[in-house]
Structure 1
Amino acid sequence: MKKTPLLNIALSRVIASLGHGDVLMIVDAGMPVPPGVELIDLALTRGVPDFVSVLDTVLAEMQVESHVLAEEIRLKQPPALSVLDRLNAEGGLGEQRVVSHEALKQLSRSARAIVRTGECQPYTNIALVAGVVF
């Protein structure tokens, strides 16, 4: 059995297959998933699993070089924003880029996979860009 926290087979496989610059998105329950992009649907019910729990688990497995948020997250101020700000200040998310929600949806078309959570707070979405460990 794995020693690291991630148990989901599909998500573990995707993270292990990421190369430098590949995008993995973690999204709320309402974010559309473009045709042809792999969906790892973890959503069980409203709020389960929550965005922050999924993000923390992914960050334990994935080397992140940078991330992208929608500017609308600053307007709506969902609870996860304080966690994102803390992680960003600590350097755990690499360089931050902020785009419109529409641009984030466009970016999702090139994601290697999208991880849907049960999060029901608007604009609680992030695109993680894979880095390298060397």
Structure 2
Amino acid sequence: MKKSGLLNPDLCYAIARLGHTDTWAVADCGLPIPEHVEIIDLALVFGIPTFEQVLNALKPEVVVEGAVIAEGTPECIREMVDTDVEVVTHEELKAQLAECAFVIRTGETTAYANVIFKSGVAF
């Protein structure tokens, strides 16, 4: 059994497969995700887990070199993203999901609480 860090085996596996410049997303529970993109569904009920809880658990595990958010993303979500951010329309963000390695669905109910992250490299 793991001693610390992420416990969800699907999430651990998906993160371990990431390479430099691969993209992945953390999403609210209502974002439409393309059929071919892997969904790691952490949503339990509305609001659990929150976007912030999931992002805080991921930060120590993944190197991030950039992010994409939609124009309508609320300031409370923007403030959680500690990297260079590109702002696009919500339609463009949804289109970019098709290139993501995976999407983590949270229980978040804040509209536009969706961020696509670009993987960095640790060396």
Range into which the TM-score falls when normalised by the shorter chain? over 0.9
Identity %: 41
Distance in 2, matches of 1:20 and 1:52, equals 24
Task: Please say if 1:5 is aligned against 2:5.
Answer: yes
Residue pair 1:4, 1:61 contacting (<8 A) in 2 also: no
CA distance 1:4–1:132, shift in 2 (3 Å): farther
Note the C-alpha offset of 1:5: 2.1
- Separation in 1 of the partners of 2:18 and 2:51? 21
Q: Secondary structure at the match of 2:19?
A: coil
Q: What is the CA distance between 1:19 and its match in structure 2?
A: 0.3
TM-score normalised by L of structure 1: 0.86
Match of 1:37 in 2: 37
Letter in 2 for 1:19: G
Select the structure that is richer in helix. Answer: 1
Deviation at 1:94, TM superposition (A): 2.5
Instruction: Please point out which of 104, 116, 122 is paired with 1:127.
Output: 116
**Number of equivalenced pairs:** 123
Q: Which residue of 1 aligns with 2:100?
A: 111
- Counterpart contact for 1:71–1:101, Cα < 8 Å: yes
Equivalent-residue separation in structure 2 for 1:27 and 1:4 (angstroms): 24
Partner of 1:99: 88
Distance (whole Å) between structure 2 residues aligned to residue 100 and residue 5 of structure 1? 34
Mark the runs of 5 or more structure 2 residues left unpaired by the alignment.
Answer: none
Name the counterpart of 2:48.
Answer: 48
Matched with 2:25 is: 25
* Partner SS for 2:54: helix
- Asked whether the 8 Å contact 1:22–1:130 carries over to 2, the reply is yes
CA distance in 2, matches of 1:3, 1:42: 20
The residue matched to 1:61 in structure 2 has which SS?
coil
The residue type equivalent to 2:99 in the other structure is S
Alignment gaps of 5+ in structure 1 = none
RMSD: 1.3
SS of residue in 1 equivalent to 2:117: strand
**TM-score between the two structures when normalised by the length of structure 2:** 0.94
